[in-house]
């Protein structure tokens, strides 16, 4: 069972707007850093820092696919996070359209 302190730390981590957007996107699609950079209009170091924090907390996992590393959401062992994710809005249509045409370079 998770403690209140641990739960509070995890919710604090998700309290950052960029990390919450990353989680919302990863909730629907596995993604490489270059795609997240383009979708969120920020820098690669910024996205990497947020992903590291999410990975350290056990929210995301990484998988190498060729020369690229893809990130996916990994909260199956955290039912309270799964419930919170149900409240997130779907990623908007503009992002969906961008995802169709993006390729790692």
Domains of the chain (ranges; CATH) run: 4-101 (1.10.10.10)
Strand 60-65 to 31-32 pairing: unpaired
Q: Report mean pLDDT in 10-residue bins for the chain, 105 residues.
A: 88 93 90 92 96 95 92 90 85 72 69
**3-class secondary structure, 65:** strand
Q: What is the pTM of this model?
A: 0.85
Q: Which pLDDT does position 105 carry in this prediction? A: 61
What secondary structure does DSSP assign to 37-105, as a single string? HHHHTS-HHHHHHHHHHHHHTTSEEEEEETTEEEEEE--TT-HHHHHHHTTSPPPPHHHHHHHHH----
Q: Identify the CA nearest to 71 among candidates 20, 17, 14, 29.
A: 29
């Amino acid at each position: 069972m998770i403690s209140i302190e641990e739960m509070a730390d995890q919710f604090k981590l998700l309290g950052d707007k960029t990390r919450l957007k990353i989680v919302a996107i990863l909730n629907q699609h596995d993604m490489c850093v270059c795609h997240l950079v383009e979708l969120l209009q920020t820098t690669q170091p910024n996205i990497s820092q947020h992903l590291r924090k999410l990975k350290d907390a056990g929210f995301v996992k990484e998988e190498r696919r060729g020369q690229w590393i893809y990130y996916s959401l990994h909260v199956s062992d955290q039912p309270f996070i799964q419930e919170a994710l149900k409240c997130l809005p779907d990623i908007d249509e503009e992002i969906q359209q961008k995802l169709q045409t993006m390729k790692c370079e």
